[in-house]
């Protein structure tokens, strides 16, 4: 399915790193939230509150997950999971379009 249907969308964007990372929050009928985001090339560190499932729809980036020493390279499509209350690093080398799901456990 190419669309999320029957959802609410927050009008104002989330803006990080001088706009090099931006996202839009989508709220589902069951109260869960995802963000649809764009990352421009750059190096970033993020922290999680909840568990996050990051689905890469398009892009080129390397991911260093918490506790890991090896970067994972995603070109095109991919997915990775970050636990709650953790930090992870990204090296983005092409415009990256993602969906982030926030999983409350």
Applying CB under 8 A, does 12 fall inside the site for a copy of itself?
Answer: yes
Q: How far is the CB of 68 from a copy of itself (least distance, A)?
A: 27
- Tell me the site size for a copy of itself, rule CB under 8 A: 28
- Go through the chain and tell me how many residues it has: 105
Three-state DSSP at 54 gives strand
72-101 residues near a copy of itself, rule: CB under 8 A: 95, 97, 99
Contact 95, 39 (CB under 8 A): yes
- Give the residue, chosen from 47, 58, 85, 104, that forms a contact with a copy of itself under the rule CB under 8 A: 58
Sign, CA torsion 27/54/61/14: positive
């Amino acid at each position: 399915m190419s669309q999320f249907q029957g959802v609410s969308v927050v009008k104002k964007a989330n803006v990080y790193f001088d706009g090099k990372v931006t996202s839009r929050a989508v709220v589902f009928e069951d109260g869960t939230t995802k963000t649809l985001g764009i990352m421009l090339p750059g190096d970033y560190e993020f922290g999680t509150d909840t568990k996050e499932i990051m689905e890469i729809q398009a892009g080129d980036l390397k991911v260093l997950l918490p506790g890991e020493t090896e970067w994972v390279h995603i070109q095109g499509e991919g997915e990775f999971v970050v636990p709650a209350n953790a930090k992870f690093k990204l090296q983005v080398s092409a415009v990256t379009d993602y969906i982030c799901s926030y999983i409350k456990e």
